[in-house]
Amino acid sequence: ETGVTQTPRHLVMGMTNKKSLKCEQHLGHNAMYWYKQSAKKPLELMFVYSLEERVENNSVPSRFSPECPNSSHLFLHLHTLQPEDSALYLCASSRGTEAGELFFGEGSRLTVL
Amino acid sequence: GQNIDQPTEMTATEGAIVQINCTYQTSGFNGLFWYQQHAGEAPTFLSYNVLDGLEEKGRFSSFLSRSKGYSYLLLKELQMKDSASYLCASMDSNYQLIWGAGTKLIIKP
């Protein structure tokens, strides 16, 4: 139990569907992150939020849309995805954006058909 | 460009010692991190080095040489539960973590 909870754990969707991934942290942290993890590749940082404000967007396609309504919750809205978007999506939190100790959720395994 | 290199896979025997190497090239440096990730689970923080030398934490130790852009994670008295992927990450001058692809460690009885 890392203090970061992600739902759903598994998601299968068609390319025309719209779905959302949810992340909640119970650690009182100020920064939250979305990462993409593909097999045998480094973690790819997608979005960073600090105190609910987006501070980093690493050239992520617009079919991925983040939302951070408060410092404890983070969403990733998905629409018209491609099969190559199939991956494990990890949420993480940290005390601040300069802290390298991240606390990860167990991830949402996404399969796009 | 920024780059982290670590072996893709290593195999070791229960009870033995294994060293996982990591070399890094980043724009600036604010520390070197190691994470452990069991299959199907979240990565968890293991260690942090910002100064040269060895940091020991139980059976696990981490070493850093900033002049060589090099770190290693040393695991002693290996147990079957140490079978996992080990992720090396360097923090650059913008406090962004640059990740390696991970080393899958297989422990055999």
Question: Of B8, B41, B99, which has the smallest distance from its Cβ to A40's Cβ?
Answer: B8
Question: Of B31, B40, B45, which has the smallest distance from its Cβ to A102's Cβ?
Answer: B45
| Torsion sign across C-alpha atoms A108, A19, A103, A54 | positive
Query: A35 near A46, Cβ under 8 Å?
Result: yes
Closest CA to B37 of B79, B80, B85, B108: B85
Condensed to tens digits (0 to 9), the pLDDT of residues B59-89 reads 999 999 999 999 999 999 999 999 999 999 9
To the nearest whole Å, the CA of A81 is away from the closest chain B CA by: 23
**Least confident window among A15-19, A28-32, B29-33:** A15-19
As a three-state string, the secondary structure of chain B is: CCEEECCCEEEEECCCCEEEEEEEECCCCCCEEEEEECCCCCCEEEEEECCCEEEEECCEEEEEECCCCEEEEEECCCCHHHCEEEEEEEECCCCCEEECCCEEEEEEC
What three-state secondary structure class fits A14?
coil
Condensed to tens digits (0 to 9), the pLDDT of residues B35-64 reads 999 998 999 999 999 999 999 999 999 999
For residue A56, list chain B residues with Cβ-Cβ distance below 8 A: 96
What three-state secondary structure class fits A52?
coil
Considering only CB atoms, which residues of chain B are within 8 Å of chain A?
A: 4, 8, 30-31, 33, 35, 40-45, 48, 87, 89, 91, 95-102
To the nearest whole Å, the CA of B44 is away from the closest chain A CA by: 7
What pLDDT was estimated at residue A58?
A: 75
Strand-strand pairing, B9-13 and B103-108: parallel
What pLDDT was estimated at residue A52?
A: 82
| Range B23-27 average pLDDT | 95
What pLDDT was estimated at residue A16?
A: 86
Query: Is the pLDDT at A56 greater than 80, yes or no?
Result: no
What pLDDT was estimated at residue B9?
A: 98
Distance CA A88, CA B104 (A): 17
Which residue in B29, B85, B97, B98 has the most chain A C-beta atoms within 10 A of its own C-beta, making it the best mutation to test that interface?
Answer: B97
For residue B97, list chain A residues with Cβ-Cβ distance below 8 A: 43, 45, 100, 102
Whether residues A2 and B30 touch (CB distance < 8 A) is answered with no
